[in-house]
Amino acid sequence: MKVTRKQEKVVKRTLEGWRQEGVIDAAEQQRLQQNLSVQLFDWQRMSRYAFWVALACFIIAIGSLVADEYLMALLFNFGYLTRAVILLLIAIAFYVWGFYRQKRTPDKRYSNEAILFLGALFTSLFLWQLGMALDNGSGNVAPLFLLGCAIYGAIGYLGRSGLIWLFCLLALGSYFGTSTGYYSGWGAYWLGMNYPIRFVLFGGLLLAACYLLKKPLLQRNLFAVSKAMGLLYLFIALWILSIFGNYDLDIWQSVRQIELLHWSLLFALAAGVCIWISLKTDDGMLRGFGLTFLGINLYTRYFEMFWDDTNKVIFFLLLAISLALVGRYAEKIWRLGEK
């Protein structure tokens, strides 16, 4: 069995624990360890990083091309609609090539994903040129994001591509934000909600849909990215909401911090619920989001309320003591579980 150095340490530690507990004897431990073959260089990770860098360079090259008016006029000396059709054909070619390679060489996962990503990149350029061609001055770009969401969703689902599915969820969030902004006349409120509250609801609905559709998403390897995006939308919106509340920017400057306290408590409660669920289910993603955004909440509140008035030593000392008490209580429960 081929393993990395890190995996070898975990396996050996597990086998040593089993030997000490009497699950296996020393001879069986030695026999199992002899079946491990350590890879001195992680070529799989090298392949992934190389494709990431290559795609980043390609994006920079495309961005430089788009910014260069002379080259754009030289290569695409057509109207917006003709450019859109050309870019769509290029995107379709990449999608067909990517699906063909997935069928013929499914083991070349990173190169197949890179080809589908190029299709997604040219799809975004197609949508941009299509928007320029159909622009009537209304400022309603939401249908373009919805079209992109449909294209990325179909490609990501059929191709089992988490990367393209990520584009779908980003386009869906963009559609929600631009459509509510358009219907509100690009004002601060839509149905009495500013943007942070809207995206708290959006993130919550996306998480609920993710768990309702967990089985098909798991079958297509799309559950993890869906859950991560739902949590990201939810927590970033809660963080912004804890700073600005449901106020317009002009009004917010005259609002006292105490009037925003309930939003901060809601932010902390959401992080705490994530941590609690992760401890019961051993969900690393929930634990990571909960701990990260709980820390962000604490630091944000500190800079808002206590930076100017409280001695820094006292503040962080109290914070350290409180976290140490939580850790001590958790250690007691852990030791009881071991016994």
Tokens of 167: 């584009």
Report pLDDT for 290.
86
CA distance 266 to 293: 12
CA distance 95 to 90: 9
CB 42 within 8 A of CB 4: yes
Tokens of 306: 């206590």
pLDDT values of the chain reduced to their tens digit, one per residue, 339 residues? 666 666 767 777 777 777 777 767 777 777 766 676 666 555 556 666 665 676 677 667 666 666 666 666 656 667 778 888 888 999 999 999 888 888 888 777 777 888 888 898 889 888 988 888 887 777 788 899 999 999 999 999 988 888 889 999 999 999 999 998 888 877 777 777 888 889 999 999 999 999 999 899 998 889 999 999 999 999 999 988 888 877 766 665 666 666 677 888 888 899 888 888 888 888 888 888 888 888 888 777 777 666 556 566 776 777 677 777 767 766 665 555 444
Please tell me whether residue 2 adopts helix, strand or coil conformation: strand
Does some domain include residue 22?
yes
- Could you give the number of structural domains in the chain? 1
Does some domain include residue 259?
no
Tokens of 106: 């499914």
Does some domain include residue 200?
no
Does some domain include residue 36?
yes
Report pLDDT for 297.
82
Range of the domain at 2: 1-40
Nearest residue to 177 via CA among 163, 166, 193: 193
CA distance 285 to 150: 27
Residue showing tokens 């961005």: 63
pTM: 0.73
Does some domain include residue 294?
no
Residue showing tokens 């249908």: 143
Does some domain include residue 207?
no
Report pLDDT for 5.
66
Does some domain include residue 24?
yes
Does some domain include residue 4?
yes
- Tally of residues, the chain: 339
CA distance 148 to 171: 6
